[in-house]
């Protein structure tokens, strides 16, 4: 059964400028600018007053209705990205052979994983910063404005250390996400 009209509104924070033009959303904040294209979804998206975005979807089935909330969540993540940014903390887990991770240009190199000679290379996405944690041993931090780019880089790092042809219950070595979310605001 089709729903006649499904609509949601998104409140725009005060410290963010938003422009919506033919389902391309541009968000400007203190950390930078994010642009995202939603033309793959057939819905209407427009500014509603000064500080609101309205998303309307006419005559939609269940799967299309789910996309309304998804697109609203994407836009809200853009607001958080340009005001605070996102951070993913990853820890190295190893039982015998210590994992050696270095940054060369915009490529992360993983060496000595399970004692293998092969060097695994993962390219950092645009807008993602790599920092080796100084206070915690065997931890890296990936941060940036775009949650999709930061989480994709974290997923590529984790999948680069996938273990194949061994018992996964015994061989737990790898690089895993230990903490994720918006960058905490500094308290004054």
Q: What is the DSSP string of 100-145?
A: EEEEETTEEEEE-GGG--PPEEEEPPTTEEEEE-SSSTTEEEEEES
Distance CA 104, CA 71 (A): 35
- Four-residue CA torsion sign, 79, 81, 82, 85: positive
Distance CA 28, CA 19 (A): 9
Distance CA 173, CA 95 (A): 7
Tens place of pLDDT for every residue, the chain, 188 residues? 888 999 999 999 999 999 999 999 999 999 999 999 999 989 999 998 889 999 999 999 999 999 999 999 999 999 999 999 999 999 999 999 999 999 999 999 999 999 999 999 999 999 999 999 888 999 999 999 999 999 999 999 999 999 999 998 999 999 999 999 999 877 66
Model pTM above 0.85: yes
């Amino acid at each position: 059964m089709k729903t006649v009209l499904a609509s949601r509104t998104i409140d725009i924070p005060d410290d963010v400028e938003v422009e919506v033009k033919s389902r391309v959303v541009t968000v400007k904040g203190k950390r930078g600018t994010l642009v995202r294209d939603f033309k793959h979804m057939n819905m209407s998206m427009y500014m509603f007053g000064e500080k609101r975005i309205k998303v309307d979807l006419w005559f939609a089935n269940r799967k299309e209705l789910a996309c309304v909330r998804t697109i609203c969540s994407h836009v809200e993540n853009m607001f958080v990205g340009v005001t605070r940014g996102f951070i993913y903390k990853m820890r190295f887990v190893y039982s015998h052979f210590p994992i050696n991770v270095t940054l060369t240009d915009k490529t992360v190199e993983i060496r000595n994983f399970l004692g293998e000679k092969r060097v695994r290379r993962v390219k950092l996405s645009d807008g993602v910063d790599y920092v080796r944690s100084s206070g915690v041993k065997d931890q890296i931090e990936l941060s940036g404005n775009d949650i999709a780019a930061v989480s994709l880089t974290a997923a590529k790092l984790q999948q680069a250390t996938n273990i194949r042809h061994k018992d996964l219950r015994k061989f737990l070595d790898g690089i895993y996400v230990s903490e994720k979310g918006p960058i905490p605001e500094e308290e004054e």
